[in-house]
Amino acid sequence: MTVPPQTLSKPHRRIDNTPLGIAAMLTSVLFFSVMNVLGKVLMERFPVTEVTFFRSMFALIPVCLAIHFGKGFAVTLRTRHGLGHMGRSLIGLTSMMAMFWSFHLLPLGDAIALNFAAPLFLTALSVPLLSEKVGIHRWSAVLVGFVGVLIIVRPSGDVLKLGAMVALGGAMTNALAMIAIRQLSRTEPPDTIVFYFTLLTTVLLALTLPFSWTTPDPLSWLMLLATGLCGGCGQLALTRAYSLAPAAVVAPLNYTSLLLAVTFGWLLWGEVPTGTMAAGAAVVMASGLYILHRETRRRVTPSEPPPPGGG
């Protein structure tokens, strides 16, 4: 719905609570990690559009509950940027589908490690799309980070492997989604952005179901429900973390998701990470952390790194 500017609610004032912010970020990582595992299991039986649809649809449950017990729907659903929400949703939907598909094509740890390239894409794309100035330090970090990506995918010919390209495509569209969020967040509250993204992706994916549908059994229904609930709760916890503590404090905790991904991959699928994967992931993570450090030093609000596997 569209309302005049004067009827919009006052901007939210952040109240810092660093310990609670750290707890919220770790909770978000746990929710997203469980969602990733469920997504990988479900992708063995269901098409990516169906898995992504239920991830979005069931995520509406915690999102709507948070809005109901927060500012309410009358306030949260007000927006003057319907087209902006649609564009952000299309980009985010592409990223989410690529993420789930990469889980099917790659070991879970490898897919998550390549998803960490998103902050590198974000820094590079912020120059042409947001007219931001990126200095030599951050450009150097981006180049080093992409060297880490090449280490992970092994440029001896495997660099063209479908799984790696899908994961990197998901990371790039994730960065584009973060840019869209940055633009929307100038006037839109976080709950408004999350609600319209979840709603619009659900509607768009519903249109694909007649062309790619596999009927779930009772256990699969429970797993699909859990995937959506974990995705919605993870997104809410992530948003809460950034509202309670500085990004420089909570953002590095995102990288703990790689440890969980490797652990789950080893326990459930016997996926043992290779030395090149570990080395490349370390380079990519170090580059992302350095970019965050440089943005913090410049006293500019750091770009929110995409949650690994969160979409």
The 3-state secondary structure of 126-141 reads HHHHHCCCCCHHHHHH
Give the three-state DSSP class for 272.
coil
Residue 10 belongs to some domain of the structure: no
CA distance 69 to 282: 40
Q: In total, how many domains does the chain have? A: 1
| Contact residues for 60 (Cβ-Cβ < 8 A; gap 6+) | 198, 199, 202, 228, 232
Residue 205 belongs to some domain of the structure: yes
Backbone phi, psi, residue 11, to 5°: -60, 145
Is residue 306 pLDDT above 90, yes or no? no
> pTM for this one?
0.84
Q: What is the pLDDT of residue 182?
A: 82
| DSSP, res 46 | S
Residue 302 belongs to some domain of the structure: no
Residue 175 belongs to some domain of the structure: yes
Cβ atoms within 10 Å of 282's Cβ, excluding its own: 15
Across the range 44-49, mean pLDDT stands at 95
Mean pLDDT score across all residues of the chain: 85
Residue 121 belongs to some domain of the structure: yes
Residue 34 belongs to some domain of the structure: yes
Give the three-state DSSP class for 307.
coil
- 100 pLDDT band, cuts 50/70/90, is very high
Contact status, residue 223 vs residue 35, Cβ threshold 8 Å: no
* The dihedral sign for the CA sequence 234, 96, 98, 114: negative
Contact status, residue 230 vs residue 38, Cβ threshold 8 Å: yes
Supply the Cα-derived Rg of the chain in whole angstroms: 19
Q: What is the pLDDT of residue 220?
A: 96
Across the range 97-119, mean pLDDT stands at 92
Residue 239 belongs to some domain of the structure: yes
Q: What is the pLDDT of residue 44?
A: 94
Is residue 310 pLDDT above 50, yes or no? no
Give the three-state DSSP class for 30.
helix
Across the range 224-247, mean pLDDT stands at 88
Closest residue by Cα to residue 119 from 280, 284, 276: 284
pLDDT tens, 162-184?
888 999 999 999 999 988 888 88
Q: What is the pLDDT of residue 217?
A: 96
> Which domain, by its residues, includes 84?
16-297
- 160 pLDDT band, cuts 50/70/90, is low
Least confident of 74-78, 87-91, 230-234, 290-294: 290-294
Residue 143 belongs to some domain of the structure: yes
Side-chain-side CA neighbours of residue 92 (13 Å): 30
